[in-house]
Amino acid sequence: MSIEALIAEEQPESFAFTAANEKEIKRILAKYPPERKASAVMPLLDLAQRQHDNWIPMAAIEEIAKRLDMAKIRVLEVASFYTMFNLKPVGRYFLQLCGTTPCMLRGSDDVTRCIKDKLGIASGETTPDGQFSLLEVECLGACVNAPIVQVNDDFYEDLDYDSTARLLEALAAGKPPAPGSVAGRQGSQSAAGPTSLAGLKPKKARTARKARHA
């Protein structure tokens, strides 16, 4: 995809960080030696995106470049490389669907199909009401509970066609369910329940102490 396709056609004239974010920027910059302040580029992009309705305008790219003494193109390179940064408006719910091998083997195609059936959008598209945007992304780092959809900051895991449909309905109703495994898995335990050391019963603390002193 060309860089032009990633960037919003309509741009605000200016961008200024809020007073609260100015404080946060000071805290972030204090972590780095002054000559290494370019290392703060990702946290500052994240701040700008959160402040600006989940997308980063070019005026914010310029502002960040100025503050970090970086060329504007270097900041834009970072912002356009990572799918976590949006350079044009996205829906209220930004769905990032993982289509990498483990998620694909565990049914991400069914999740894609459900989103297409229920919302009528494919990767890179937003529903006409501005509620949902979809982007297919590479591994989200939660393969053990594949397939995964990230909704804004939250992960929904172990999805299939039906549970994706229920998730979309809940989001449309403005009632996002608790994030995590929709199959009720605890953390990343085996789908069949605990399998390691399952036969061991924890010793009572007192018994263990006695055994040590015996």
Q: Which residues bind ligand FES (CB under 6 A)?
A: 98, 100, 102-103, 139-143, 146, 148
Kindly tell me which of 135 and 142 has the beta carbon lying closer to ligand FES.
142
Q: What is the CA radius of gyration of the chain?
A: 22
Kindly tell me which of 102 and 176 has the beta carbon lying closer to ligand FES.
102
Kindly tell me which of 14 and 188 has the beta carbon lying closer to ligand FES.
188
> By three-state DSSP, how is residue 94 classified?
strand
- The set of residues, in sequence order, having a beta carbon less than 8 Å from that of 69 and lying 6+ positions away, is 37, 38
- DSSP secondary structure, 122-156, as one string: -TT-B-TTSSEEEEEES--S-GGG-S-EEETTEEE
Kindly tell me which of 54 and 100 has the beta carbon lying closer to ligand FES.
100
Report the nearest approach of ligand FES to the CB of residue 83 (Å).
13
> How many Cβ atoms from other residues are within 10 Å of residue 154's Cβ?
12
Report the nearest approach of ligand FES to the CB of residue 14 (Å).
38
CB 158 within 8 Å of CB 187: no
CB 196 within 8 Å of CB 171: no
Angle at alpha carbon of residue 143, lines to 139 and 149, rounded to 5°: 65
Report the nearest approach of ligand FES to the CB of residue 139 (Å).
3
Kindly tell me which of 89 and 99 has the beta carbon lying closer to ligand FES.
99
